[in-house]
Amino acid sequence: MVAELDGRVVGLIAYELKGETGEIVLLAVHPEFQKRGVATQLNQAALDAMKEAGMKLAVVETGGDEGHAPARRAYEKAGYTALPLVRYFKDL
């Protein structure tokens, strides 16, 4: 899904449907258009589409670093609940 303003794409959200779970895989809003409700509207549109498709749960992951703070705010504003999670990585 995309958000447009005056014919210009200002944001997008992508999601997948898996069983009874919808997963947000990408949410991006152009920096010039952040903090204007674009992410909230995209989240709601995706959640509505998931519910209409029969999904029972919606999930999303994002980083815990400062660079992902806007994404965390957007997901929390959309009603997602953060759960503590530790994910380990190792270069091979």
| CATH number of the domain within which 15 lies | 3.40.630.30
Specify whether the CB–CB gap between 12 and 26 falls below 8 A: yes
Q: How many structural domains comprise the chain?
A: 1
Model confidence band, residue 84 (pLDDT cutoffs 50, 70, 90): confident
Query: Is residue 39 a part of any domain in this protein?
Result: yes
Q: Is residue 85 part of a domain?
A: no
Q: pTM to 2 decimals?
A: 0.85
Is 45 domain-assigned?
Answer: yes
16-68 pLDDT tens trace: 999 999 999 999 999 999 989 999 999 999 999 999 999 999 999 998 889 88
Residue 24 placed within a domain: yes
User: Cα torsion at 70, 34, 12, 62 (round to 10°)?
Assistant: 0
